[in-house]
Amino acid sequence: MTDRLHRLRESAVLAVLRAPSAEIALDASEALIRNGILGIEVTYSTPDAAAVIAELVRRHGDAAYIGAGTVTTAEQAQAAAGAGAQFLVSPGTSAPLATAMIDTGLVVMTGALTPSEVMEAVDLGVDVVKIFPASLGGPSYLGALRGPFPEVPLMPTGGVNPDNVADWFAAGAIAVGAGGDLVPSSALTSGDFTEIEVRAKRFLAAVAAVRAGASA
Residue 2 has what pLDDT?
58
Structural domains of the chain, ranges and CATH numbers in brackets: 6-208 (3.20.20.70)
Residue type, 18: R
Catalytic residue among 41, 55, 120, 197: 41
Angle at alpha carbon of residue 37, lines to 57 and 175, rounded to 5°: 100
- Per-residue pLDDT tens digits of the chain, which is 216 residues long: 459 999 999 999 999 999 999 999 999 999 999 999 999 999 999 999 999 999 999 999 999 999 999 999 999 999 999 999 999 999 999 999 999 999 999 999 999 999 999 999 999 999 999 999 999 999 999 999 999 999 999 999 999 999 999 999 999 999 999 999 999 999 999 999 999 999 999 999 999 999 998 876
Residue 66, number of CB atoms within 10 A of its CB: 28
Condensed to tens digits (0 to 9), the pLDDT of residues 29-54 reads 999 999 999 999 999 999 999 999 99
**Coil/strand/helix, residue 60:** helix
Q: Running DSSP on this structure, what letter comes out for residue 107?
A: E
Active site residue 41: yes
Among candidate residues 30, 55, 130, 197, the one labeled active-site is: 130
What is the model's pLDDT at position 1? 41
CA separation for the pair 187, 194 (Å, rounded): 9
User: What CA–CA distance (Å, rounded) separates 142 from 51?
Assistant: 34
